[in-house]
Structure 1
Amino acid sequence: MSVVDTPVNVTDSTFEPDVLEVSNEMPVIIDFWAAWCGPCRMVAPILDKLAKEFAGQVRIAKVDVDANPRLSATFRIQSIPNLMIVKNRTIIFNQPGALPEPALRDLIQQAIALEVPPPEDAQKPQA
């Protein structure tokens, strides 16, 4: 897997490879946002900075809620920005609202350190 040092724009159709598959290797921070959202615009440069700082240890994904209504509905996103962290295909953090940079950095460090077993169905051998 190549090292990505910028946030990745994720769509309804790329969620599986860009988030779920990557989450087997490292935590994926998902930023649910919209262009018209002021707090989302405040969080974006922080996530850009942290994507560079934690490149190779974490992936930052951005989901435009207006362009990707299926993902927004699937995860019941009702308020933006909404940050979610997925590790080993498991949601380990989900919170609406803008977080300051120190809190985001701490959250990323905790997500990297957290041991999350793969889901049970991923452990079953395929016939």
Structure 2
Amino acid sequence: MATPNMLPLRGHALRRLFQRTPASIAGLHSSSRCRERYINGSKTDFDKIVLQSSTDRVVLVDFHADWCGPCHALSPILNKLTTERTTGSGKPLDLITVDIDNEEAGGVALAQEYKVRAIPTVVAFQGGKPLSQFVGALNEGGVADFLNKL
């Protein structure tokens, strides 16, 4: 025979439990928002995601072009590492890619504004300000070293 304590909680009863119970007691924990990825972001996306970002996150901006072989080699490494890890200081990583040939989306203007002279160029931003950057296709270890310094 089931006692009231053994019955599964559903609906309103479950909500009432979590309203009364602090998250730490309920076994929950708060975490920062999921890591974000924006492929071929526009100038508007860049302004919103990078320039208006908080200081508790780091946004990597991958300046690339579709015709660039090294860019295609670097892209899966950036995707993998920004999914799996944080910066050396423990901050979550977001990633936005900017096609420097896409004039309509503002990629040309962004490349000029941030003085991109060669691709791929990856710039780390925090709180809307550039922190660090690297130019060229690094291997996974090289990108990991870069992230550890952030």
Could you say whether these structures have the same fold, taking a TM-score greater than 0.5 normalized by the shorter chain as the test? Answer: yes
Rounded Cα–Cα distance in structure 2 between residues aligned with 1:18 and 1:76: 19
Give 1 or 2 for the bigger CA radius of gyration.
Answer: 2
| Structure 1 pair 21–54 and aligned structure 2 pair: CA distance change class (3 A) | farther
Q: Normalising by structure 1, what TM-score?
A: 0.77
Q: 2:58 aligns with which of 8, 27, 40?
A: 27
Which ranges of structure 1 fall in alignment gaps of 5 or more residues? 112-127
Q: Matches of 1:45 and 1:100 in 2, distance apart?
A: 11
Secondary structure, in 3 states, of the residue corresponding to 1:25?
Answer: coil
Correspondence for 2:124? 85
For residue 111 of structure 2, what is the aligned residue in structure 1?
A: 72
Residue of structure 1 aligned with 2:145, choices 100, 106, 112: 106
The residue number in structure 2 matching 1:60 is: 95
Identity percentage of aligned residues: 27
CA RMSD of aligned residues (A): 1.8
1:89 Cα offset (Å): 2.1
Q: Which runs of 5+ in 2 are unaligned?
A: 1-31
Aligned to 2:81: 50
> Within 2, Cα distance between the matches of 1:77 and 1:31?
11
Contact preservation (8 Å) 1:23, 1:86: no
Partner secondary structure for residue 22 of structure 1: coil
Aligned to 1:125: none
What are the Cα deviations for residues 33-66 of structure 1, in whole angstroms up to 9, with x where unaligned? Answer: 0110000000011011112103771111111111
TM value normalised by structure 2: 0.66
